[in-house]
Amino acid sequence: MKKIYLDNAATTPIAQEVIDVMHESMLENFGNPSSTHQFGRQAKNLVETARKNIANLLNASASEIIFTAGGTEADNLILHNAVNNLDVKRIITSKIEHHAVLHTVAFLQNTYNVEVDFVPVLPSGDISLEHLEDLLTQTDKKTLVSLMYINNEIGNILPLEQVSDLCNKYNALFHSDTVQAVGHYTINLQKTPIDFMVASAHKFHGPKGVGFAYFKKGFGIQPMFHGGDQEKGARSSTENVHGILGMEKAFLIASETLESDMIAMNTLKVFFMKELLKINSNIRFNGQSSNIDLSSCTILNVSLPIKNELLLFNLDLYGIAVSGGSACQSGSSKGSHVLSEIIRNDIDGYTSIRFSFSRYTNKEELNYTIQQLKKIL
């Protein structure tokens, strides 16, 4: 049986070059970066070099990068700091954010009585910038805006510069969950002055269990973990040296091939959409995922004109791995909170699937997927 992986928004296969770097590190760099002897100094030097290289790719400073265990921890670190350290009293977000943001914001609201406002989401899945500006004018309370750059379910791209400009205009802090963007889209933090952003290595062919938070220079960081002084006191825990070096390598590769990868994935995405519509013209594309200018090249969210709760299972039997929503909620019987927000009517008789691509996806795999879908539909 063929094995076709089309769930790259959930996680990506690790690049062989990344595996090689990590394997070498496991053999040679076993020292604790906090140790002062030569083994510790060697590990520390490699971690700091990785920090500088990652910062350079974002046009940031090395001191602004804090290594974490992934995007969820990074989002938590930023949001908790906003409230507990930077005196934020109000958070503006949307109901289609990743749960790493939504659940954390709900916790902060319940625990610290933070005021929370939700900017309306248009039927297209886009954020209403007009309503965002209206919300920003309504209070003098110190405010943080938290809106994701690329939605992990429908792939909509936030107009990052416009949101950043609005936040600057009204003196609000701006946090963006950029997990689905890092390694796939250029982020220049000098051109687009975001205050906080996050990354997770396994979304761009790096290892799981490692990521980073970006804190714009000038913001002190209050740790969530205690018991050590790593990351300049921002995160207590021995650094994941092998993971950090793997992330560095994955990010360097992704940055070098970013333009060609984007063209290749968009080409495959357009091909796949055309072939899907040949099967059934009633197939719908959710959010902006069918518009290659307004959505990620990696994500295509599709509503198929069939009510089949076993559709994902059936595709899996054919060797095809896809997602019905966010794989971070796998095992949950709940539907997609993103699709529930943007598809309010006329959803009976449809089943939604997220197909997501990587630089390793090829046309042969998509043709095979189309053939199996024909059998099901």
Tens of pLDDT, residue by residue over 24-46, are 999 999 999 999 999 999 999 99
Class of domain 16-256: alpha beta
User: d(Cα 68, Cα 198) in Å, to the nearest integer?
Assistant: 9
Q: Which of 251, 243, 257 is nearest to 19 (CA)?
A: 243
**Confidence (pLDDT) at 147:** 98
Is residue 301 within 8 Å of residue 59, measured between CB atoms?
Answer: no
pTM: 0.94
**Confidence (pLDDT) at 316:** 96
User: Of residues 116, 328, 370, 376, which has the active-site annotation?
Assistant: 328
Q: Which of 171, 169, 119, 107 is nearest to 143 (CA)?
A: 171
328 included as an active-site residue:
yes
Fold classification of 4-12+258-376 (topology level): Aspartate Aminotransferase, domain 1 (3.90.1150)
Other C-beta atoms closer than 10 Å to the C-beta of 370 total: 16
Share of the chain above pLDDT 90, in %: 87
pLDDT at 330 over 50: no
Q: In this structure, which amino acid lies at residue 39? A: F
User: d(Cα 75, Cα 175) in Å, to the nearest integer?
Assistant: 9
Where do the structural domains in the chain lie, given as residue ranges? 4-12+258-376, 16-256
- Please give the C-alpha separations between residue 137 and each of 121, 171, 238, 257, 324, in angstroms, as whole numbers: 18, 10, 43, 41, 38
Computed over every residue of the chain, the mean pLDDT equals 94
pLDDT at 348 over 60: yes
Tens of pLDDT, residue by residue over 189-248, are 999 989 999 999 999 999 999 999 999 998 989 888 888 889 988 898 999 999 999 999
Is residue 54 within 8 Å of residue 251, measured between CB atoms?
Answer: yes
pLDDT at 331 over 80: no
Average pLDDT over residues 271-279: 98
Tens of pLDDT, residue by residue over 111-145, are 999 999 999 999 999 999 999 999 999 989 999 99
User: Is there a common fold for 4-12+258-376 and 16-256?
Assistant: no
pLDDT at 158 over 90: yes
Angle (CA) 309 314 316, round 5°: 120
Other C-beta atoms closer than 10 Å to the C-beta of 351 total: 18
User: d(Cα 269, Cα 106) in Å, to the nearest integer?
Assistant: 35
What letter would DSSP give residue 227?
Answer: S
